[in-house]
Amino acid sequence: MKNDKKSATDPRILRTRQLIRDAFVDLLQEMDIEKLSVNRIAERATINRVTFYLHYRDITDMMEKMADEMIENIERIVDEHAPQFEDAAKDDGWPVLVKLLEHFADHSKFYRVVLASRRTPIFTERLLKLLSKLVSAKIESLELENSLSQAGIHKEIAIWYSSSALIGTIVSWLRNDMPYAPHFLAKQFSLIRAYSYNDLI
């Protein structure tokens, strides 16, 4: 437990993992993931193989841990900002989504590669799972289950549809170099949802 706590806070460890992550992202922009190797990542990160293996078992383990960290960061944003937006007006869009989009914009190089390149599905799959949870929570918080039922819409299918539309919008936004501000994009998503589906999903 102590070692885990130290690894989460030790600046040297954090710096090394950041170097590895940056190297991974840079190399993914240059070659297919099948051509990646620990040697190439270590060389680009200006570390040796031994140092890499102190942090990760192999490239698969590295991606799994990076995906875990990505989800932890996003969940931290949701946990921090969701409570203050609980009473926000529905016509103000989805304020927490604005915060998430701002996070994606601040780390656009990483997200553009791991989400928008189709080379690393583990990141997209993890994000889709999290977005499904957020959509489900939104449906419950707005007490839309009865409305969905009355409209003949199964809640599970509504969650699948909305979360897939959301991640598709985010990926397209990243692929197109984020031509819209986070607040504008979040508002547009809410307007489209309301216009197309009577604000049910």
Residue owning tokens 């949870």:
133
3-class secondary structure for the chain?
A: CHHHHHHHHCHHHHHHHHHHHHHHHHHHCCCCHHHCCHHHHHHHCCCCHHHHHHHCCCHHHHHHHHHHHHHHHHHHHHHHHCHHHCCCCHHHCCHHHHHHHHHHHHCHHHHHHHHHCCCCHHHHHHHHHHHHHHHHHHHHHCCCHHHHHHCCCCHHHHHHHHHHHHHHHHHHHHHCCCCCCHHHHHHHHHHHHHHHHCCCC
pLDDT at 15: 93
pLDDT average, residue stretch 86-93? 50
Per mean pLDDT, which range of 85-94, 108-117, 150-159 is the poorest?
A: 85-94
Specify which of 97-101, 134-138, 194-198 reaches the highest per-range mean pLDDT. 97-101
pLDDT at 32: 86
Mean pLDDT of the chain: 84
pLDDT at 192: 80
**Entry pTM:** 0.80
pLDDT (tens digit per residue) in 152-188: 888 888 889 889 988 999 999 999 999 999 999 988 8
> Is residue 49 pLDDT above 90, yes or no?
yes
pLDDT average, residue stretch 99-117? 90
CA distance 26 to 150: 50
> Is residue 42 pLDDT above 90, yes or no?
yes
pLDDT at 51: 96
pLDDT at 71: 94
pLDDT at 25: 95
3-state secondary structure of 120: coil
> Is residue 81 pLDDT above 70, yes or no?
yes
> Is residue 8 pLDDT above 70, yes or no?
no
